[in-house]
Amino acid sequence: MEYLVAVTDNSWYRHLAALLPDEVNFWRPSGNLIKNLQAGAPFLSKLHSSENYIAGGGFLVRAERLPFPLAWDAFGEKNGASSFQELRRLIQARGKRSESDPDIGCLILNEPFFFDRSQWIKAPEDWSRSIVTSKTYSTTEPIGGRLWTRKELLMLSVPFGKQVSPIVTDGTPLLGAEYLTRSRLGQGAFRILVTGAYKRRCAISGERTLPVLEAVHIKPFADRGPNRTGNGLLLRSDLHILFDRGYLTVSPDYRVEVSRRIKQQFENGKDYDPLHGRPLLVLPDSLDNRPSREFLEWHNSNVYAG
């Protein structure tokens, strides 16, 4: 199994260690993304040289360049900053960039963990000062294997708290699509995965204006709907509201249905009636990411009122 050890800003780590969030965004103001690791691969945070220790980590969900406002909307303080303006200031300071809303490199991490100071692990013996971003290790190699068998990391291979680590009890990791299907993803990861699956376009209208596009749960999270792309749609904000309130739905064959109640209650609907019966304009390329028939039937039966 391959995993990543990445240089981590000490203040970012401490801010998040105080929050104990369910997910975090490990961002870089610029630079190449890590693309050779699968979803579910472990990520270890190595603090800067003044504290040359591995102090925590998480499990990779996705690596992607995101517009800075979208990263804030999806993760808020889980970006390691207390406010939108603070995150902007940090991006500009660390990246020496002047743009007001730049794209940033993001590694979305699930189930982050933060070791007590007594559990911090000294950086691997082959870690040199010339490494300024990250290094990939393998459990099949001597140094990577010894690091991963540290008792602090072995704790991740068994259930803890009310959650179960993505590494199952026999030591076999969940990776790739299996990890995304079986793990408890956070709301921020759900938003980014759905937005990416629909190529940043509204499934119904094809709209590309990112600030008005929202990741929608077909079966709401409050009703035990999971944070999976198969339970998601990317919709323009007005269509999101109508979908959530039962004024429109999507049939299991991916056609839009618009309720008569719009015209009856509001004496209008001219912008929405033409959508009735149309197929979705945008669908994810991967069949696994497309809306699940199970969740669409649930919405048709429990939310939509034709």
One digit per residue, the tens of pLDDT, for the chain of length 306 reads 889 999 999 999 999 999 999 999 999 887 566 767 889 999 999 998 788 999 999 999 999 999 999 999 999 999 999 999 999 999 988 866 666 678 899 999 999 999 989 899 999 999 988 888 899 999 899 999 999 888 777 666 544 333 445 554 455 678 888 888 888 899 999 999 999 999 999 999 999 999 999 999 999 988 999 999 999 999 999 999 999 999 999 999 999 999 999 999 998 878 999 999 999 999 999 999 999 999 999 999 999 998
**Which among 193, 167, 171 has a CA at the least distance from the CA of 180?**
193
Tokens of 141: 């190699």
DSSP letters, 193-239, are: HHHHHTTTS-TTT----GGGEEEEESS-GGGT--SSGGGEEEEEHHH
Domain ranges of the chain: 2-182, 187-302
Task: In whole angstroms, give the CA distance from residue 295 to residue 287.
Answer: 15
pLDDT of residue 45: 95
Task: In whole angstroms, give the CA distance from residue 135 to residue 122.
Answer: 15
Element (H, E) at 142: helix 142-148
3-state secondary structure (DSSP) of residue 122: strand
CB 18 within 8 A of CB 29: no
pLDDT of residue 162: 37
Residue 243, Cβ density class (10 Å: 0-12 exposed, 13-18 middle, ≥19 buried)? buried
Pairing relation of β-strands 103-114 and 53-67?
antiparallel
Residue 241, Cβ density class (10 Å: 0-12 exposed, 13-18 middle, ≥19 buried)? middle
pLDDT of residue 153: 79
